[in-house]
Amino acid sequence: MMPVPTHLRGLVTPADETLDEEALHARIRCLCGENKFELLYPGQTQVHEGNTIPCTAQIGDRFFFLLKFRCAACSTEHLLFDADFHGWDGFVCHDPEQAAQERPALIPWKCQDCGEQRHSGVVHIQTQGKQDFIDEAGGDFDADRWPDAFGWFSLDLDCAGCGTHSEELISYETM
């Protein structure tokens, strides 16, 4: 699996310790060791293939997509993903003006079956690989930062209340 992107180090546990350029599959866990959390998102949703899912939020003339998780044990909040800072567009094509905008308020995601707010989950991160990063990003970045320029972020959730599994509740292309 690819190395863990910088912003997720210590917050996810990879399913496999092999380091290569294959997709990362990693369980979310707080620094305190707890793996149950509330997923926090900007509050806007859309229906995709019959399922309600979080989506990009338009606030005024700006667009935001970010996710945090709040630990069920210690209540610490951790940033999982912010499109203005993470992935190809957020890292390689970083827009300082957009990134300086105040982040929208976030609310807890509720299980669509039972209303529970606590979940456990797995992130999946895909990249085009180190050489693609070097070729496309030029010499502006340290080559070892290639995992931070990932092209896809997705998230599976399991409800702590009823056990409902939401495969790719989040699926976000970052390029």
Cβ distance 1 to 15 under 8 Å? Answer: yes
Mean pLDDT for each 10-residue chunk of the chain (175 residues)?
A: 97 95 97 98 96 95 97 98 98 97 97 98 97 90 96 98 97 96
* Residue spans of beta strands (DSSP E) within the chain: 12-14, 24-28, 37-41, 45-48, 51-54, 57-59, 62-64, 66-71, 77-82, 107-108, 118-126, 152-159, 165-173
Q: What is the per-residue pLDDT for 138?
A: 77
- List residues bridging with 54 in a β-sheet: 45
Distance in angstroms (rounded) separating the CA atoms of residues 20 and 115? 39
Q: What is the per-residue pLDDT for 68?
A: 98
The tokens for 46 are: 């859309």
The tokens for 22 are: 């294959």
